[in-house]
Structure 1
Amino acid sequence: MSVGPQATYIVQKQPPAGSCHYRTEKGEPLEDPACTPGATLPAVTQANLASTICRKGGYTKNIRPESVTRKEKELNASSYGYKGSLGDAEYDHLISLQIGSDPNGARNLWVEPADPGHKPGGGINNKKDPVETKLHTAVCSGKVTLQAAQQAIVTDWATALSRLGIG
């Protein structure tokens, strides 16, 4: 866990170069759980969903620290040994902001390569984003608890929906 949204952000220390290793599930890239175990935001709880992640008008736009993203992405790419174009990879929150993650915790961010078959130079494209949105919708509609959604995505985002019975 972390302290959550800050007025200003600093570049977070990343794991040593080459120390993190991608896994795959059905060809999809997964994070190294030793380097990126996930980090939640204590300010987001089951009791305050309506005023945090489920509030109308957006939540994630106001807490994402864009000012440090590029430098952290470069450092994390080195941690994971990522050699592709950074334009084709997403500096992604393992537990998404949509389901109450730490906006700038090094334990929750990783350079996620594009999906297999993605054309280099085509920009970011991955199958994890729709999973994050479906988990958010399920949490906000009461189909699953915040904690269940967070645990499912940390365990394996590629199977999170099926594990929770979400279509």
Structure 2
Amino acid sequence: MLAAALAASGCHASDAATPTSTPAAAPGDLPVGNSAAAMPGPGTCKLGTRDGQPLPDPNCTPGAVNPAVRQNTIKDTICQTGWTKTVRPPTSKTTKMKAASARSYNLAPSDKGEYDHLISLELGGAADDPRNLWVEPGTIPNPKDAVENKLHAAVCSGLIQLAPAQKAIAGNWVTAFDTVGLRIANGKVCLRDKPTSCVTSHRGDEDGN
């Protein structure tokens, strides 16, 4: 496991730089996905923690979004069962990316973890941008999967908008529910300020990672 890596908690600024060719989003928005974005250099990223759960280094893994997924396209993209299959990158590509990402975070090959999209595909995350992928330590499936699924249910039911959900999970997946004003009760996802507005949680499209 990654007890030693997690002990050195606290995200810090890395020396990794985003190439100037990477499309930039408007100020305050998340980066637009770009498969040619640079992978952070070996040892330049540090895992952080919140409530005992791992967080990626925000300077290395800030999250990035799929420009095809917008509020006005969710019914034809992320809210369509099976849609993530159409954008999920092949393992022949992600296996190599995972090894490079592990080196960026100074993780040993034997360390257990899932190569996970910070903004999940079911929330419109970029599929193969290194800025949206990190080796999340721990078991597979992991606790973040349930957060992704519940946010997906809230977005596709209309409880919350897509962009706030994306920003919340990119900023800190552990506190994402609080950030967007949701509460979880009896397996349902509800608005915190309107407890009767709820949607039943579900397992996301192919776990949505």
Q: TM-score, normalised by structure 1?
A: 0.84
Structure 2 equivalent of residue 118 of structure 1: none
Q: What does the per-residue CA deviation read over 1:58-94, in whole Å, with 9 as the maximum and x for residues that have no partner? A: 11112111230111000000000112635x2111111
Answering whether residue 63 of structure 2 is matched by residue 38 of structure 1, we say: yes
> 1:60-139 counterparts in 2 under 5 A?
60-66=84-90, 67-83=92-108, 85=110, 88-114=112-138, 124-139=140-155
Q: 1:110 to 1:46 in 2, by over 3 A?
A: same
C-alpha distance in 2 between matches for 1:141 and 1:85: 40
C-alpha distance in 2 between matches for 1:98 and 1:136: 6
Root mean square deviation of aligned Cα: 1.7
C-alpha distance in 1 between matches for 2:141 and 2:135: 13
Gaps in structure 2 of 5+ consecutive residues: 1-31, 185-209
Gaps in structure 1 of 5+ consecutive residues: 4-8, 115-122
Structure 2 equivalent of residue 166 of structure 1: 183
C-alpha distance in 2 between matches for 1:166 and 1:84: 37
| Paired residue secondary structure (1:44) | coil
Structure 1 equivalent of residue 161 of structure 2: 145
The percentage of counterpart residues that share the same residue type is 48
Q: What does the per-residue CA deviation read over 1:2-37, in whole Å, with 9 as the maximum and x for residues that have no partner? A: 26xxxxx78x64211000000000110000000001
| Paired residue secondary structure (1:91) | strand
Structure 1 or 2, whichever has the larger Rg, is: 2
> 1:11-26 counterparts in 2 under 5 A?
13-26=38-51
Q: What does the per-residue CA deviation read over 1:88-124, in whole Å, with 9 as the maximum and x for residues that have no partner? A: 211111111011011000111111101xxxxxxxx52
C-alpha distance in 2 between matches for 1:53 and 1:125: 20
Q: Which has the higher contact order (CA 8 A, sep 6+)?
A: 1
Q: TM-score, normalised by structure 2?
A: 0.68
Contact 2:78 2:123 (C-alpha < 8 Å) held by counterparts: yes
C-alpha distance in 2 between matches for 1:23 and 1:84: 19
Q: Which runs of 4+ in 1 moved over 3 A?
A: none
| Paired residue secondary structure (2:173) | helix
The number of residue pairs the alignment matches comes to 151
Structure 1 equivalent of residue 76 of structure 2: 51
1:152 shift after superposition: 0.7
1:163 shift after superposition: 2.4
C-alpha distance in 1 between matches for 2:82 and 2:177: 23
C-alpha distance in 1 between matches for 2:183 and 2:40: 34
Contact 2:38 2:130 (C-alpha < 8 Å) held by counterparts: yes
